[in-house]
Structure 1
Amino acid sequence: MDPPVALASLSGEADAEWARAGTPFAGAAFIGGIALDAESRAAARATVADRGRSEFLPVDPLAWIADQLDVIVDDEHDLRAGVNVRATSAGAVRDAAAVCADRDAILEVNAHCRQAELCAVGCGETLLADTGRLSEYVAAAAGEGADVSVKVRAEVDGVDLADTARAVAAAGADVIHVDAMDSEGVVGRVKAAAPGQVVIANNGVRDRRTVREYLAAGADAVSVGRPSDDPQVMRRVRAAVDEWADGDGPADATIRAEPPGVSR
């Protein structure tokens, strides 16, 4: 997949229409996040009620994922689709991964959200402190034949993302999507810990300087979150990664369509 730019999921906003709008600039788009099971859906509803957050809450999450992916896959542009999911059980992740595998889409396990309601039921960044359960989710998704990404967050107390990267890579993760929280150095540590995995760097990607900082730190790709619907920002990011690939970085600095260890 080329270019090495991804659109990062935005709860309640990142759908197929959003992904299609970003196709001139990006090589991948992660829709969602979406809560899969009863507990995570109740927590997502609570974030809407308590704080007015925007969330995807379709009646049937799996049907929503299938419908959204079908729109993206049918697009004329070569965009790799992914789905960021929240769940309280490996079984729910497995079911979503099967839908993704059927459409050559990436299943992204959300170990990133920090909303109190979601963390209270064991979703989001609480998974970073429970590497065993996070690895179980990854293995469940990989077992369905889906390519697997794990979205993680830096600067969580007591969590060493290098250890997390090694654990999820061993469980079958192909991509580690790192919200660096303004700490570029964590990207290099994650890449060193899991050198066979694609590392996507996220947080504050806006322009040539931020793109170059992350790629120089060891990222294979960058992702854009909040300003992903701003063409001016996306043009700057796309120009920066093209410049890096053309002369300032490795020629193969792309998110590959088939990550290491995946066969079809």
Structure 2
Amino acid sequence: MTTETFGRPVVVRKLVVFACFLVTAVSLIPVIMMVLVGLQSDAESMAASPTFWPSSWHWENLERAFDLVPLGHYLLNTVIFAGGTTILETITAALAAYAFARLRFRGRNALFAIYLGTLMIPHQVTLIPQFILVARLQWVDTWAGMILPHAFTALGVFLLRQFFMGIPRDYEEAARLDGASRWQVFSRIILPLAVPAIATFAVFKFIGQWNNLLWPLVISNSDATRTVAVGLRTFQDTNGTQWNLLLMAATVTTVPLIIIFFLTQRWFVRGITMSGLGGR
């Protein structure tokens, strides 16, 4: 082989790394602009010809943002809402996925196809029926009304079912021969092997529910259950011209997601490659 043949993979690898770096840099531009404007003075953020680099750093904007709205309470509400829905969705999706992947019953494939068909229905179509049901149950502006309608997900069932089907049946058969029950097989064999896929799904759902605006906006009427996405909207309605404080509050709400991603990055990447989300 010639030197040119050996050199091509290196050049291609460098081009791919450069392209990834370029895409990452472009993606970070809005985040950097958000942080910089959040540290500007009121006059700079309201100027007719805005500049993104602050002439002086106003770290007191963080305290001002917390003083104008109960941002800390909104963050706590968001943790409860996103955490509660993620836990329930993960549990129900894992149980349903195991049933569709391992249990044999009449009409299993047809039922699974119908269940997947619900993914084609936009969430906005079911919003009004869900609200009517929650209102009749007197769950408006309660945690039950906020969390329980999101306790089931067809997408999670599909992803985990595909992962469960890739686990060899020999493990289950050996456990059943040793006298393990169906629940013991699921909890002691299947779940430990599926930790990467479950962790990936949980991270996806937590981030999605953290940024969920529509359902909390409809069902929450007070600060008792108002999430940070709705709180920022209220913040903008009340203090719409104070862009520096609004973007400072948005920066604060983004930090938890960044921390969660870095803490779960290993499981996140491993789950994507093992569950088929990476295009394999």
Structure showing greater relative contact order (alpha-carbon pairs closer than 8 Å, 6 or more residues apart): 2
**Smaller-chain TM-score range?**
under 0.3
The structure that has the greater radius of gyration is: 2
Q: Which has the higher helix share?
A: 2
Which has the larger strand fraction? Answer: 1
Q: TM-score, normalised by structure 1?
A: 0.23
Q: TM-score, normalised by structure 2?
A: 0.22
